[in-house]
Amino acid sequence: MDSTPSGQSIRSQWTIPDEVTYLNHGSFGPSPQVVQEERQRWYRKLEAQPMDFYLRELEDAWDAALSELAAFVGARPQDIVFVENATTGMNIVAQSVPLEPGDEVLLSDHEYGAVKRIWETTCAEKGAKVVYGCWPLAPRSPRELVDGLMERASRRTRLIVVSHVTSPTAMVVPVEAICAEARQRDIPVCVDGPHAIAMLPVDLGRIGCAFYTASCHKWLCAPFGSGFLYVDESYRDGLRPAVRSWGLSLSGRPSRWQDEFLWVGTRDPSAFLAVPAAIRFLRQYGPERFRERTHALARFARQQIVERIGDHGLVPDSPEWYASMVSLPLPPSDITPRSGLRDPLQESLWSEYGIEVPVLTFRDRRILRVSCHLYNDRQDIDRLVTALDRLADT
């Protein structure tokens, strides 16, 4: 386990109880204490003097936080807005993209369930249709992903929606190549990127998408309820927030497209304002060092588990394909895959061993998804492997 310059273990920066083995940063990523405290600091300011905070302080603090986040993801501050999470960002895109009867929205079949539902319902309301590109469960080349998606594109495709890192299969998607092919056909792309922020060096200036939506409360370890939406300038007309309010600056500064998203009714913006503290925390550790360390641990988990259960990893064993999170198919068993979030194996791992790790169902396969962050180490993986062995014997 790494330690800080003052000799404390990295794990002690978090408030995760000692008895918990937390291997699910990919679903809900807790923040280190410095980030929690920064959020509290902003919240105390709000509570102390709401008028002063909302009218005189908020907008400058908002802009400063947005600029730091923009720089971190390779965007310009004028290209992004804060939203509570990736889901909100995706809903904004779904409400704003013009769709006519007969139009199509193209998704990969590895997309997150809620994202599929957002587009299924939006398309149904507008007489449009969701079309799914088909990706193998265990792809072998990035070309398979690009082609599997693009071969379903048609003259009626109005938007492509694709993850940067998929949720069930934890694989890194070649979004830049997909955007390049889509551009040749004049199709805008919306990238669903909550797992990519911090896990990968995201450079929005290079990716070339129309929209990019992400949560900062996953791998970046920003407070829960912080995310952003990037919108290329050609796609801002008609863009509206999920919740409509004044649509202007309360401090009276000149208007800009982001004002619609700044004030969406009275709310607690402390999570957004603490995002720079999360970026600082990661920078202090070193983003590349973070990626190397967490990938090495995910790789260790993959080797240990594949060896035990005799199955294979889904994707080739390379950081090009998976980063800090790894999905491993479980051998077929009598356990009926369950929808919902509480697979029986997941529940036993938690109730009997204090291990939080999700067991997902994807294409009738049960998949164990192991997330590795800085507070994890090999002992966590050893505990998981031992618990899996014991549970397999019962």
Ligand X SMILES: Cc1ncc(COP(=O)(O)O)c(C=O)c1O
Interface positions with ligand X (CB under 6 A) = 27, 85-87, 112, 115, 163, 167, 192, 194-195, 215
Is the CB of 86 or the CB of 220 nearer to ligand X? Answer: 86
Which CB atom, from 27 or from 96, has the smaller least distance to ligand X? 27
Q: Collapsing DSSP states into helix, strand and coil, what is residue 389? A: helix
Distance CA 223, CA 229 (A): 16
Q: Which is nearer to ligand X, 10 or 314 (CB)?
A: 314
Nearest distance, CB of residue 107 and ligand X, angstroms: 11
Number of CB atoms found within 10 A of residue 136's CB:
14
Considering the complex, what minimum distance in angstroms separates the CB of residue 390 from ligand X?
A: 29
Q: Could you tell me the smallest distance in angstroms from the CB atom of residue 340 to ligand X?
A: 15
Smallest separation (angstroms) from ligand X to the CB of 112: 4
74 Rama sector, left if φ>0, alpha if ψ -120 to 50, beta otherwise: left
**Calculated CA dihedral for residues 172, 174, 176, 182, nearest 10 degrees:** -130
If the CB atoms of residues 112 and 212 are measured against ligand X, the closer one turns out to be 112
Q: Please tell me the distance from the alpha carbon of residue 17 to that of residue 24, in angstroms, as a whole number.
A: 14
* Residue 215: CB minimum distance to ligand X, A: 3
Q: Which residue lies nearer to ligand X by CB, 115 or 388? A: 115
Q: What are phi and psi of 43, to 5 degrees?
A: -65, -40
Q: What is the DSSP string of 243-266?
A: S----S-TT-PPP-TTHHHH-SSS
For residue 119, the minimal CB distance to ligand X (Å) is 12
In order, the DSSP letters of 267-335 are ---HHHHTHHHHHHHHHHH-HHHHHHHHHHHHHHHHHHHHHHH----SS-SSTTT-SSEEEEEPPP-SS
Measured between alpha carbons, how far is 225 from 217 in angstroms, rounded to an integer? 7
| Helices and strands of the chain, counted as H and E runs | 14, 12
- For the bound state, the minimum distance from the C-beta of residue 35 to ligand X, rounded and expressed in Å, comes to 16
CB closer to ligand X out of 368 and 387: 368
Q: Which is nearer to ligand X, 104 or 192 (CB)?
A: 192
